[in-house]
Amino acid sequence: MNEINIGQATALTSPDPLVLVCTKKEDGKLNMAPLSFFMYASFNPPMLAFAMGKAANSGENIRRTGKAVLAAPGVSLKDAVMAYGSANGGKKDKLAQTPIALQSIEGTDIQIPEDSRIAFEVTLEKTVESGDHYLYLCNIDKMLADESKEALFAWDGYAKVAPAEEKE
């Protein structure tokens, strides 16, 4: 085997999970950012964890409000996902710049994309410093799904988003 760096590792483990972290900004507006550093962290109670760069506006929002919705975007959102992944929501109104169809869901006032396969409504339990990221350990309050929607995954170390295909 050959020794590799972490960038190469992320490309080799792809496709990786992909969700849009939906949060409320300080001005009350909605923000979204794509995220692949996501994992389930407990069955009982249901919990998940995710890591975001320390400067991310999404992280700032979840630390301030304690709330987020993680929604797996459908295939129609390919371009919007890349656009939301290339700007900081504290400096830009990404949803105004790249508008998408939204839906309201029960149990939260944070809207999510209309084209979502699954959504996790979460409450922040604990923030852990993790190198150049913060790791957010969250309780899952509610999970909603629409199995008719095809989800996007992150490919090639986050350079590309596309559906995941099963090999026969």
By CB under 6 A, the count of residues binding ligand FMN is: 23
Write out the binding residues for ligand FMN, residues 3-42 only, by CB under 6 A.
18, 31, 33-37
Q: Which is nearer to ligand FMN, 23 or 108 (CB)?
A: 23
CB of 62 to ligand FMN, least distance (A): 9
Binding residue (CB under 6 A) for ligand FMN from 88, 127, 130, 139: 88
158 touches ligand FMN by CB under 6 A: yes
Binding residue (CB under 6 A) for ligand FMN from 22, 30, 49, 52: 52
CB of 136 to ligand FMN, least distance (A): 10
Give the interface segment with ligand FMN, choosing from 3-11, 45-53, 62-70, 111-119 (CB under 6 A): 45-53
End-to-end CA separation in angstroms for the chain: 27
SS3 for the chain is CCCCCHHHHHHHCCCECCEEEEEECCCCCEEEEEECCEEEEECCCCEEEEEEECCCHHHHHHHHHCEEEEEEEEHHHHHHHHHHCCCCCCCCCHHHHCCCCEECCCCCCCCEECCEEEEEEEEEEEEEEECCEEEEEEEEEEEEECCCCCECEEECCCCEEECCCCCC
Q: Which is nearer to ligand FMN, 119 or 152 (CB)?
A: 152
Residue positions counted in the chain: 168
70 touches ligand FMN by CB under 6 A: no
144 touches ligand FMN by CB under 6 A: no
Which residues are near ligand FMN by CB under 6 A?
18, 31, 33-37, 51-53, 56-58, 82, 85-89, 133, 154, 158, 161
